Structure 1
Amino acid sequence: MADSEIKAQRASIATQFFYGFGSISVGIKNNLLGTFLLIYYNQALGLDATLAAAALAIALVFDAVSDPLIGIWSDRTKTRWGRRHPFMYFSIIPFALSYYFILSDPGDISEDNLFWRLVFWLIVLRMCLTLFEVPRGALAPELSKDYDQRNNLAALAMIFGWIGGAGIDSIARAFWLDSFVDIDGYQSLAFWGGIGIFIGAAVSCIGTHKNIPDLYEPKPRSTDLGLMLREAIETLSNRAWLVLFLAGCFYALLIGLESGVGTYYNEFFWQWKPEI
């Protein structure tokens, strides 16, 4: 890739901050899916645990398909707002609303309706996350050519992600939840978590908007499904990448079990209350 094709050389401190700030939204979402969602639907709302887990699995299948499709679409988009920001801006409001509606009290409805309601809003949530996070992830290497700065962008995203997830978790335990099955407390979490997602995503989009004229603009190219399939096979055949991928899968499994089952242990075995 010729240097002339990339206009952005180095990202300012403000740009790095605004880029990383968007991960607050991702962290809040991760906290919901990894900590509170299963026990809320199973114990507070009375949905069978198998159905709650099935809803999460169905949404993940949609996510596995939507991620590469949105990535391809974003790569081939050409607008006055660049290739990434249109998707990011579009996701902000539905991202926040889907978080809110997942935790809002559905009232007196049947278990079947509760299940399909959860499936719908989980798919919407994950689709909005894809629209925001996939283009934003691709934005990082376009904001700076500097190797160290690109590492800084990734590090800041990780830091703000933990701030978002741990922050909303700590606030919920300290102020809103009397127990892990407190329906009224989850309504406060729904509102303020949605606000947090909106602020995190909006600030990141607006803060990096000024960089759009300096971002890399590739030459137009057609979509070759055969080429994409060959590239995917080539990636999967790389032993080093495959080991890293499998390690990531086991790590994600461990984190998922620890966070999801941990709330059940705290509530029913240790009988701890959600406080800090």
Structure 2
Amino acid sequence: MEPFIRRQADNGCEWLELEPPMRAYPELTAGFTTRSGGVSREPFGSLNLGLHVEDDPSDVVANRRRLAEALAFPFENCTYAEQVHGKEIQVVTKRERGAGRDSRETALQAKDGFVTNERGVILHALFADCVPLYVYDPIRQAVGLAHAGWKGTALQIAKSLLETMSAAYGTKPRDVRAAVGPSIGACCYEVDEAVVRRMDRVIAETGAAKAGEDAQASFYVPQPDGKFKLNLQQLNRQIFIQAGILPSHIEISGLCTSCRTDLFYSHRKEGGRTGRMAAWIGLR
């Protein structure tokens, strides 16, 4: 069953709520926006949340305010970063709360993952095909969020996210609830051999290759033109499992951003000129 459930606020803002863990843990808020319910004009119509895509900055900030209003968050608590397709994780405290909400200059710099145990700090990351990764430790009351494209996946940012939570808060992976959010699926994500060779190292390091060739086939499939269809969602799930999260504690979306450009922005499908969705997580 799809864990991300579509919702719409009175102001028209539309998002997908990470329903199973939010039902189990009322203090948790987590989800993923759609492209609908904002004020941006084409080709960024309409709920673009990225300040770096040549959209009108005032429209982007208005969209971010609309999202905060829809989710009943104080806009001052909404925290954003400048993402660089790396694996650096920042521990976010009340001091950084609200960073980057209305300008790139004030954002957390060169970070692709964030963790916090501060209530009211809402972490955001931006996406248009890459994989959003969510983690929640209900024992130590800490959350984390990461942005994993193929580069972040090759660097195993999912593992770095858990290691940072463990060092900062004493998180034990077996206690963690995790989710792999909407992103470009294996149905649409074609890559070259150089990328696949990087993924082979990840497969070997996470122990997925122990089952032989069938295990590799679950992560990528060769195509007649020499390219490969790559499954970033399953790779990140495997990294989570190798890091110690129980398979039964991992939700995974079946929604493909490239297939569903009626619902999402897709950098690849739309030729690079498009908007960005936001994933968020926090403790109320």
Q: Which has the larger radius of gyration?
A: 1
Q: Structure 2 length normalisation: TM-score?
A: 0.23
The TM-score normalised by the length of structure 1 is 0.23
1 or 2, which has the higher helix percentage? 1
